């Protein structure tokens, strides 16, 4: 029986991926990094520290520490979210659905902890969540399962009785490693990509989720 649902944040609850790209391009370019799409593709699911280390390894800079640059990126993303952050389609509807089913609701993200409250406040959905976790407070980020295990523990629910909503393969791997059933909600351009077949279920958008899906997942082994 499903007792809880855990959401990833960026790309699942909020359409923030373009903001991360914009912030990273601005900040890293300011210290001489040649930010290009081909390399950026590798960083989409990393923690902010991992992204900073990635670009430093390719284009070492001087004058500012990695921590300073990381903080500048986070502050820029925080500003962009506050200014123009928008929910992904169906966010409040699916949260209402789970709340009405008396399921516990949590969040597990690779994003810095300080951005969680910014996003939940901007979308006016903080009241739905009983537990939140950031990989910033774990020894490793996704695809390691730690951030999912932390949220399940805070919710006091066995991971096997949880569902995770993810938009990335890295996140799906993390949730599955925690023994959590996964629902992939891939970016539109990647929906047909075979890499998402590792997920238990796949949806085009959160608003496609129904109670019949919940029953099917509960019986899925």
Mean pLDDT (whole number) for 45-58: 92
Q: Which domains does the chain have, with CATH numbers?
A: 4-15+86-218 (3.40.50.1000), 17-84 (1.10.150.240)
Provide the token pair at 179: 């023994």
Mean pLDDT (whole number) for 28-38: 91
Q: What pTM value is reported for the model?
A: 0.93
**pLDDT of 21 higher than 70:** yes
Tens-digit pLDDT profile for residues 160-218: 999 999 999 999 999 999 999 999 999 999 999 999 999 999 999 999 999 999 999 98
Tens-digit pLDDT profile for residues 108-164: 999 999 999 999 999 999 999 999 999 999 999 999 999 999 999 999 999 999 999
Other Cβ atoms less than 10 A from the Cβ of 68: the count is 13
Catalytic residues: 8, 10
**pLDDT of 56 higher than 70:** yes
**pLDDT of 221 higher than 60:** no
């Amino acid at each position: 029986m499903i007792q809880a649902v855990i959401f990833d944040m960026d790309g699942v609850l909020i359409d923030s991926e373009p903001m991360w790209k914009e912030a990273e391009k601005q900040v890293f370019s300011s210290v001489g990094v040649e930010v290009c799409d081909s390399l950026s593709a590798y960083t989409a699911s990393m923690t902010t520290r991992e992204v900073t280390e990635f670009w430093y390894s390719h284009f070492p800079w001087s004058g500012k520490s990695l921590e300073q640059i990381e903080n500048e990126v986070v502050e820029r993303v925080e500003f962009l979210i506050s200014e123009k952050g928008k929910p992904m389609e169906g966010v409040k509807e699916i949260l209402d659905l789970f709340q009405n089913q008396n399921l516990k609701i949590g969040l597990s993200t690779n994003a810095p902890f300080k951005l969680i409250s910014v996003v939940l406040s901007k979308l006016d959905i903080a009241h739905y969540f009983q537990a939140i976790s950031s990989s910033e407070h774990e020894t490793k980020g996704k695809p390691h399962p730690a951030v999912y295990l932390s949220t399940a523990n805070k919710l006091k629910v066995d991971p096997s009785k949880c569902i995770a909503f993810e938009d990335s393969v890295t996140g799906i791997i993390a949730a599955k490693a925690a023994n959590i059933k996964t629902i992939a909600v891939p970016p539109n351009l990647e929906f047909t990509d075979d890499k998402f077949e590792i997920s238990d279920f796949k949806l085009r958008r959160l608003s496609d989720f129904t109670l019949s899906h919940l029953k099917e997942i509960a019986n899925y082994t």
